[in-house]
Chain A
Amino acid sequence: MTSSAAAAIRETKGRPLVSVRGVSKQFSNGTLAVRGVDLDLADGEFVSLLGPAGCGKSTLLRMIAGLGAPSVGTIEWPTAPHDSRGLAEPDLGFVFQDPTLMPWATALKNVMLPMTLAGVSKPDAEARAAEMLALVGLKGFEASYPRELSGGMKMRVSIARALVTKPKILLMDEPFAALDEITRHKLNDDLLGLWERNRFTAVFVTHSVFESVYLSQRIVVMAARPGRVMADLRVDAAYPRDDLFRTSAEYAHLCRVASETLKKAIAG
């Protein structure tokens, strides 16, 4: 692993997809959730935001998505289209910590939502949603309501909904935190499979060192009070990564390095 991976990626790939510059966020109750964050996300990379609870990971991710403006600083999308007021209209998918499905709609209807809102014709949307559900391993569950699905299955529906529009960037906020380890490993593998095939930019918030090392090319380590970026690590292991990688010495070593960096970040 090398520090300042951001600079290296910027050199090799040219213009970043997202450019976060000097971003701070203070809530109305006075909490300084994030302070002075500089971050470039390159097209097609898999980045994890790693940090202890309350260090502003969710706040930062939501600001990148355009939910809540920064108090100070800018978030720019150099390559995305902009609306008439000059606001970026990035092509993104978002996966919340909870599945956040509409309980009154079937799995298929939930996945169709982004297309329904974009005015895609119903048969077209239905076909694409069904295809996406099959891709996340939920073929046969199209007509099931969220309450009839397990936690892991609901998360799969949520991921299918985020990916169905083929976004350029997928933002995920601890999507698997509530799941058991076996299901989490399975979903990690499936997520990597989807990413390797589609090469969207993935931003994955987690507080698990093991998850971040397993998934990402790059780990942004954050510290709390106030939330800030402490380190930017590069994970140079090759893809595809699978159970073999999970048990390798290389993985163990990478986890140790990331773990020590995180410990240092927490110690301040």
Chain B
Amino acid sequence: MTDMPLAGPSVPHDGTDAEARPVFVEERRVLGLPVSAWPGIIAPLTIGLFALAAWELIVEWKRVPSYILPGPLLIAKTLVTDWDTLSGALWITLRITFAALVAAVTVGVALAILFTQSKWLEKSLFPYAVILQVTPVVSIAPLIIIWVGDINLSLLICAWLVAFFPILSNTILGLNSADHNLINLFQLYRASRWQTLRHLRLPAALPYFLAGLKISGGLALIGAVVAEFVAGSGGNASGLAYRILESGYQLRIPRMFAALILISLSGIAIFLVTSWIAHLFLRRWHESAIRREN
């Protein structure tokens, strides 16, 4: 077909003319973000500031003692004065969370691929994945800590247990939801199993996997914190959960709140980062990420 002229005797009338070629218009940006993104940031921030102000006023006005409910200003001050301890704990919790998430992604995706290659394997192993998922982590954490010995590793395993199931089940669903006609097309072109996986099933599974990742990101943090509560270990190498327990014993409630806030902020940060990753991968083609213009 190298030297063939354009097919058909006339110019296309179905939108395939030169004027219809895509022209990408950049939206105006303020501080690096598109204008339309700002209301979604400003609105919740305003609500948050109002709530904080009300909290501070009520604490002041009713003279609530700080060991019952510290005001936001005191908490902020504690965050600064205790930063050395708290930041160390934050770092440890985040490290466990992140390692657990990486392990969850690796094992979850690998198992999902394995399961979709062999129905037999899926049938025999999937029930055990469900059992792991439905068993509350608090109830098996003590066992894991006894068996494993190393506290960090046990925390990692607990967090991983909580985090990996959404990735596994979402990725399996995604790998199996490739368009039937596209599967037929790959069959017509005699694609190998690996080619079908690489060019069809994995891309089709991507939105599902990323939805799982968003859930698992939060769950990994929850798993890491819950497991540490159960472990209740002290010493220098302890995370935010232990700092909360310790502050509770010592009635240092502002510090307890400060640690709590660090956990919440970490959760928000994880959510934002995973959402951003999902957006990066899907923005050009998936319904969930595209900006609708009609």
Contacts and interface: CB of A to CB of B under 8 A. Distances in A.
Interface of A: 62, 65-67, 89, 92, 94, 96, 98, 100, 102-105, 113-114, 116-118, 131-132, 134-138, 140-141, 143-148, 150, 152-153, 156, 163, 166, 179, 182-183, 186-187, 189-194, 197-198, 240, 242
A190 B200 contact: no
Contacts of A190: 7-8, 12
A117 B181 contact: no
A138 B16 contact: yes
B8 A186 contact: yes
A193 B191 contact: no
Interface in B18-44: 18, 21-22
A160 to B, nearest CB: 10
Given A100-B181, A197-B7, A153 B22 contact: no
A194 to B, nearest CB: 5
Contact of B7 (A100, A114, A193): A193
Contacts of B200: 102
Contact of A183 (B13, B22, B179): B13
Contact of A144 (B9, B13, B22, B191): B22
B285 A145 contact: yes
B285 A147 contact: yes
A194 B206 CA distance: 36
A182 B13 contact: yes
B76 to A, nearest CB: 45
Contact of B182 (A100, A153, A192): A100
B4 A140 contact: no
B8 A189 contact: yes
Contacts of B191: 117
A132 B4 CA distance: 10
A186 B14 contact: yes
Nearest to A144: B22
A67 B21 contact: no
Contact of B14 (A131, A152, A166): A152
Nearest to A182: B13
A136 B1 CA distance: 12
A144 B200 CA distance: 19
A145 B189 contact: no
Contacts of A148: 22
B119 interface: no
A94 B22 contact: no
B17 to A, nearest CB: 9
Contacts of A114: 189
Contacts of A143: 22
B10 A189 contact: yes
Nearest to A134: B6
Contacts of A192: 8
Contacts of A189: 8-10
A152 B16 contact: yes
A140 B18 CA distance: 8
A96 B1 contact: no
Contacts of B21: 140-141
Contacts of A163: 1
Given A89-B190, A114-B189, A193 B9 contact: yes
B176 to A, nearest CB: 16
Q: Nearest 9 A-B pairs (CB), nearest first?
A: A193-B7, A190-B8, A152-B14, A140-B21, A183-B14, A100-B181, A137-B12, A137-B16, A193-B8
